Structure 1
Amino acid sequence: MGVVGRVSRASRLLERGVKDFFAEHGLEAWEFDMLATLLRAGDDTTMCMKDLSASAMVSPGALTNRMDHLVKRGLVDRWQAPHNRRMTLVCLTDEGRRVADDMLERHAANEERLLAGLQEADREALAGLLRKLLVSLGDTSQ
């Protein structure tokens, strides 16, 4: 019970640290995840919603709601593909790219702050053990 309890407590504390960090910057963690996924696709890259859903590991319905929100905030553009009206395309706006770029370094610094109590070797060992645990629990996304 000690291991499960500690993993659960650490998860809650880390999630709170990430949530509070993004809230300080006017974002939700999921908003950053969507922006970062689009940013990783490359400059001036347009993604179809189906590919974005798979890449971000979000259901199509949840992705539609998230894109509605990001479009309203002016961070993402969305339109029907001219060659296939059943396909919806999305890309970062200039503002979305600016926010994503700005937050990448800040997010990395926040993660560093959250893990400051562990030396690099400990982090690597913990990551390996958690990966092993996730696989044993049936999580193949790693």
Structure 2
Amino acid sequence: MNRVSVAIDQWRQEIPELDLLPMELTARLNTVSRHVSAQYLEPFFQQRGVQPREFDVLATLRRAGEPYALTPTQLFEVLMMSSGGMTNQLDRLQKAGLIERRPNPADRRSMLVSLTDAGLALVNETIPQHVENEARAFAPLSREEQQTLNALLAKLMDHLETE
């Protein structure tokens, strides 16, 4: 029996009239997220010399399409990161030679962050391996179960993000 089940069983004994399903769902989502991160994502990216949040920046630039460039504001809005956190990520990635900052030709007041050739190569090489790694985390679920879970989580996210 896992820790969430033990805690829920204890609460059911102490307050049997309480509907604990919301607590159970929240605990399971948090626990799954922590496990996927600790067991799959963090070791995967550590082997490649980047942190997961740094790779998020690189991948966001890559999926933006050519010329693989966005403003820092666009990046932190998409990644839901503070501007200070974004600056730290960008500083590390620039020092590693994976991104560059240059003046924005469309707006002289802003900068563009773009992938370097090394950054583009890293993302292109890593994305297929990253998806395979994530697939291992969800392997206990059938393809149909994964699709159902995905649809339910998307519905929940839509509600939470519009509330």
Q: CA deviation at 1:27?
A: 1.5
> Aligned partners of 1:99, 1:37: CA distance in 2, in Å?
13
Structure 2 residue aligned with 1:93, among 104, 116, 125? Answer: 116
> Aligned partners of 1:25, 1:75: CA distance in 2, in Å?
13
Give the structure 2 partner of residue 47 of structure 1: 70
Structure 2 residue aligned with 1:104, among 113, 127, 132? Answer: 127
> Aligned partners of 1:129, 1:46: CA distance in 2, in Å?
33
> Aligned partners of 2:136, 2:110: CA distance in 1, in Å?
41
> Aligned partners of 2:132, 2:119: CA distance in 1, in Å?
20
The alignment status of 1:5 with 2:27, answered yes or no, reads: yes
> Aligned partners of 1:83, 1:121: CA distance in 2, in Å?
46
Structure 1 residue aligned with 2:54, among 27, 31, 41? Answer: 31
Opposite residue 30 of structure 2, the aligned amino acid is S
Q: CA deviation at 1:12?
A: 1.1
Matches within 5 A, 1:124-139: 124-136=147-159, 138-139=160-161
SS at match of 2:109: strand
> Aligned partners of 2:42, 2:104: CA distance in 1, in Å?
34
Give the structure 1 partner of residue 143 of structure 2: 120
Q: Deviations over 1:77-102 (max 9, x none)?
A: 10233564420111100000010111
> Aligned partners of 2:154, 2:148: CA distance in 1, in Å?
10
Q: Deviations over 1:107-142 (max 9, x none)?
A: 001011111111111011111222233344x234xx
For the pair shown, the structure with the greater C-alpha radius of gyration is 2
Using structure 1 for the length normalisation, give the TM-score: 0.86
Q: Aligned pair count?
A: 139
> Aligned partners of 1:84, 1:38: CA distance in 2, in Å?
19
Equivalent pairs: percent with the same residue? 36
- Runs of 4+ in structure 1 over 6 Å off: none
Q: Deviations over 1:34-70 (max 9, x none)?
A: 0010111113333222222223332222211111111
The alignment status of 1:20 with 2:47, answered yes or no, reads: no
Q: CA deviation at 1:31?
A: 1.2
